[in-house]
């Protein structure tokens, strides 16, 4: 029998012999043991592979958690920057609105001053009544200081003010126990300042009360009238908005 025929016979008969002959099967296993791993080695390798898979999975999970945490950190940082930018933008907008409001108020106040100055000139030429001008100044005082400007009309039967009996008109403000006597006019000269001082003293004597402040408000105050006011302790202002706190 040649070699090839022998191999063919072994291939054909060997499975049946191994199945039915335990001794021969053991011989074959011993003979081929070096060609394959034993059961224990196979199980060890199997568990090693499972451990490697477990480590790979845990490492992957760890890296995924790190990636998610990093992305969350970046997202939180971006949200913080957006919030900060929005806060700065809102603050900028608020500052712009406040600045616009301030400028608008200044423009309106300046326009009102011009209107009253023009009104004062108009009064001198009969283009606007003195009462209308007085009411405008009084209205600004009331709005700015939350007071009531009372127009007082009393008869001076002794002629204390004008040297003969006449009607006396002036404005007073009574606030928190203080008495302020005011003169609101489109223009006032030296004689007018003296007359105001006499009207104030007339009111004090009539009501047995001393004024805490004497105030003249007029956009056109003669220079000599200012000198008189300084000597008599009378405060002078060119506009109701310039009056110090009441």
Please indicate, yes or no, if residue 59 is contained in any of the structural domains: no
Question: Which residue segment(s) compose the domain that 144 sits in?
Answer: 130-242
pTM of the model: 0.48
Q: Are residues 134 and 237 in the same domain?
A: yes
Q: Classify residue 42: in a domain, yes or no.
A: no
Looking at the fold, whether 134 and 238 belong to one and the same domain comes out as: yes
66 within domain boundaries? no
Which residue in this structure is represented by tokens 């004008």? 162
> How many domains does the chain divide into?
2
Give Cα 39 distance to the centre of its chain.
79
**Which backbone phi and psi does 2 adopt, to 5 degrees?**
-80, 175
Per-residue pLDDT of the chain (246 residues; tens, 9 = 90+): 677 877 777 778 778 877 888 887 777 777 766 666 556 666 677 778 888 888 888 888 888 888 888 888 888 888 888 888 888 888 878 887 887 777 767 766 665 665 555 455 444 434 346 777 788 778 888 888 888 999 999 999 999 899 899 999 999 998 888 899 999 888 899 999 999 999 999 999 999 999 999 999 888 899 999 999 999 999 998 876 776 666
Q: Is residue 121 part of a domain?
A: no
101 membership: H or E segment, kind and range: helix 39-124
55 within domain boundaries: no
Q: What's the Cα-to-Cα distance from 105 to each of 73, 99, 138, rounded to whole Å?
A: 47, 10, 19
Residue 71, domain member (yes or no) = no
Asked if residue 192 is part of any domain, the answer here is yes
The enclosing domain of 151 has a CATH number of: 3.40.1350.10
The reply to whether 68 falls in a domain is: no
């Amino acid at each position: 029998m040649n070699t090839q025929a022998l191999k063919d016979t072994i291939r054909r008969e060997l499975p049946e012999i191994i199945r039915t002959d335990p001794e021969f099967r053991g011989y074959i296993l011993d003979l081929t043991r070096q060609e394959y791993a034993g059961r224990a080695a196979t199980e060890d390798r199997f568990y090693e592979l499972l451990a490697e898979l477990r480590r790979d999975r845990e490492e992957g999970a760890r890296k995924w958690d790190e990636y998610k945490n990093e992305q969350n950190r970046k997202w939180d940082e971006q949200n913080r920057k957006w919030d900060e930018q929005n806060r700065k933008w809102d603050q900028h907008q608020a500052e712009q609105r406040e600045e616009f409001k301030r400028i608008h108020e200044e423009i309106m106040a300046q326009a009102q001053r011009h209107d009253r100055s023009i009104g004062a000139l108009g009064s001198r030429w009969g283009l606007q009544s003195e009462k209308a001008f007085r009411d405008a100044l009084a209205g600004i005082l009331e709005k700015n200081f939350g007071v009531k400007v009372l127009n007082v009309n009393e008869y001076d039967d002794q002629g204390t003010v004008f040297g003969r009996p006449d009607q006396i008109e002036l404005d007073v403000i009574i606030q928190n126990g203080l008495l302020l006597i005011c003169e609101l006019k489109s223009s006032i000269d030296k004689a007018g300042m003296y007359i105001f001082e006499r009207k104030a003293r007339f009111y004090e004597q009539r009501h047995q009360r001393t004024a805490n402040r004497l105030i003249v408000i007029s956009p056109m105050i003669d220079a000599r009238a200012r000198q008189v006011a300084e000597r008599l302790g009378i405060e002078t202002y060119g506009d109701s908005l310039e009056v110090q706190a009441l």
